[in-house]
Chains A and B, each alone.
Chain A
Amino acid sequence: MSKAEYLPLQIECIHFFESNPFAFETVEGLSTRLGKSPKELEVVLVELETLAIVEKVGLGSNEIYRYVQPVEEVL
């Protein structure tokens, strides 16, 4: 479990996106909503993007993050 100090923020971030599955947020927007610094959030969002939990759209200051829903298979 690397970067254990970021875990609580990762959980908070995931919870936000799961509760708002259609939200499109910039780092600044997310920072305002969660009350966390953009610098901390950037680290967390990169990690979540690597795990394909969130998806980044756009570049630079126009970067927007959105939640990627898991796939469902009915037996």
Chain B
Amino acid sequence: MKRLIEPLLPVYQSVLKVPVVILDQQANDFYKSAETNPTYYTETLRNVVDEYTSFQSVAMIESPFSFPIGTKYLIVSLSENDYLLAGPFVTSECDKNFPKLSDQEVESARQRLSSLQKILQQLNSEKKQVMYDILSLAHELTNVEQQSDILDRTWFYERMVSDFSDLDFAGIARPTMEDSFEVTSFFGSENVSLEGYKFSFGQGFLGQASISKNYKVWNQVEHDLRNGYLHPYGLRPKALFCYPLLNDNQCVGLVFGGTTLFHEISLETSFVIRHTFEMIEQNLTIEALNTKLYNVNTRLQVLKEIFSIISNMKDLRQIAYVLIDMTMVLVKSKFSSVFVHQQANLAAPQLYARGISQDLIEQYTQSIKARYVNGTVNPKNMAAQKWQTPWNEFVYEFPLVRNERFIGLLTIHLPDEQTDQQVIDLVASISQVGAVTIDLIGQEQKNAGQDQVANFFTAVEAFKPEHYHHSQKMLIHIQDFASVLDFSYEDITLCKEACMLSAYSESFLLKQQIDPRVVDIIVSYNQLNNGKQPIKKSRSPLGHFLYIVDYFAEHQAFPETKTDIQQELVLRLSTFTFRQTLESDVANAAPVQQKEQLDLGIIKNQFNLSKRELEVLEHVIAGIHNSEIAATLFISEHTVKNHITSIFRKLQVRDRSEAIAKSYRLCLEQ
């Protein structure tokens, strides 16, 4: 208030012809119209306040209360603690250096100050009421835990109507699913209810506010055509307001109200409404942000927990259980399942499920098999997708993929079509964690399986030495031919393992828990060797491949083709071997002949090389790298290096080229 009048003080001084000062009893706030002596005013006020309790109108202060002695002041009370003093002045002949006012001028000044006092009192009273209204509503709001809830409570609008004399109805319209609005809470002082009133964007006053997204007040609307929308409900407003509540730039509600009695809503009411709902809007935004942040934190915590649980598990079944149960809890899904595709040495593909009957499980298993295993769907580049089950329910399928390999499928039932995208993203992250863990378990078991295969192969040497040496030759050709045919690393490994274990029976291998895919290849290969066609078609191409390699290792030629598969394989391999031979004949025919004629038995005897060292030397002479030698012989690269060091020492050479040269020279000399 004092700040409001401060700029007016010099004007009052020029009109009243005396300095004008505003101060409180303690002189803490001191506003003055010109340079004056503060002591005059503080002393004078102190004397007066001690004497009087209040000033109902403008009063004159004279000696002995005025300071300095002999001067006079006019005083007016602005509020409980604030006073305005005009002075000091004198009214009679006086030698003191103060302004001299006539009686007429004093009376004029008194009237002006009296008018000022009335204006200020009125202003003070209205602002107080406004402030009270704001603080009162703010208090109501802070007492409500969920701020958004208050907006749907009728008492809130009843309170608005009772607080503002120029409002006699108020309510809120919320957006509906059909892109329109419906009044959900309403209070009217007359027997009128607008609850259930529906309107669309742009329709009537309220619909217009929903488009503009700005606070609006319409006065003098008694005869406005847009008012007609409210008449069927018995509501005939003369003035209206509407505040669109925004959250993240989306209109979450239209708070409205008005009067059927007055043609205008006062500026003060409008001011309070606007500021109150701005505050509510800010609170709603904070509430929404807090909820969002809480949800993000919770989801991160959930992901961390699940990751920590799964990463410590060694059992595939347990991982499937965790994936099923956790996703069911997250999505409130009534059905969840995990399909695990065949992994290395593990048993056949399996489906783990919860929430559906046995016959539906069988139906779904067949559906997965048809789409994912038998290849109508390519899961490698696929994200989560919605799918309708054979029993007409919608599910989300999350392919478990790692390094472009299909590992399995996580499926969750959708509780409704409006499932939160953030939850779907969270389940996708969990499925990725599941894919990595299942794959790692598969890799661990695969490594253990490779050691087992290497041990079985070494044992073959003892009871079937010819088979063992033949298999060794086959292994080298498998590596060469498979790379020509662009076999995947996985298929090359399967073929090599099948070659190494081909001396064992099917029943023995299955008993030893050898990868069933390897056993399939061996069975097909054995059937072809016996002049039969493979019964199992799934792995027969690799069986045919092994059969061709076997024949080539023995005869240095390809067999007569009996099937389309063999014909295609032989055609591609023949092109390769023909090109190799042609290149070798043209560029380096002699060394090839020499290489073919090398008898390393002489070197073995002369330099006392072990069997393994001789095998390694053969590979070195063939120009094969250490890593490939290690893979072919199923030993570690470190062991290969040890063998090569030993060979160099025994041959008394420094490097591979010297070793190759010395081997050739010795063989040729013999």
Contact = CB atoms under 8 A, between A and B. Distances in A.
A72 B326 contact: no
A4 B297 CA distance: 10
Interface in B330-381: 330-334, 337, 347-355, 358, 361-362, 365, 369, 373
Nearest to B339: A75
Task: Tell me what chain B mostly uses at the interface: helix, strand, loop, or mixed.
Answer: helix
Pick the most buried of A8, A47, A69, A70: most chain B CB atoms within 10 A of its CB. A70
A55 to B, nearest CB: 12
B302 A71 contact: no
Nearest to B342: A75
Nearest to A8: B301
Given A1-B295, A7-B298, A18-B322, A71 B329 contact: no
Interface residues of B, number: 42
Contacts of A74: 347-350
Contact of B332 (A5, A8, A51, A72): A51
Nearest to B354: A70
A56 B282 CA distance: 46
A11 B329 contact: yes
A52 interface: yes
B141 interface: no
A1 B423 contact: yes
Contacts, number: 92
A68 B301 CA distance: 25
Nearest to B302: A7
Interface in A1-53: 1-2, 4-5, 7-8, 10-12, 14-15, 18, 47-48, 51-53
Categorize the interface residue count of chain A.
20 to 34
B328 A53 contact: yes
A15 B309 contact: yes
Given A18-B318, A75-B369, A5 B298 contact: yes
B302 A75 contact: no
A15 B309 CA distance: 8
B328 A51 contact: yes
Contacts of A68: 354
A2 to B, nearest CB: 7
A11 B331 CA distance: 13
Contacts of B294: 4
B369 to A, nearest CB: 6
Interface of B: 294-295, 298-299, 301-302, 305-306, 309, 317-318, 320-322, 324-326, 328-334, 337, 347-355, 358, 361-362, 365, 369, 373, 420, 423
25 contacts: A1-B420, A4-B294, A4-B298, A8-B298, A8-B301, A8-B302, A11-B302, A14-B326, A18-B318, A18-B325, A51-B329, A51-B334, A51-B355, A53-B354, A69-B321, A70-B352, A70-B354, A71-B358, A72-B351, A72-B352, A73-B361, A73-B365, A74-B347, A75-B349, A75-B373
Can you list the 5 inter-chain pairs with the closest CB atoms, starting with the nearest? A70-B354, A75-B349, A73-B351, A4-B298, A14-B325
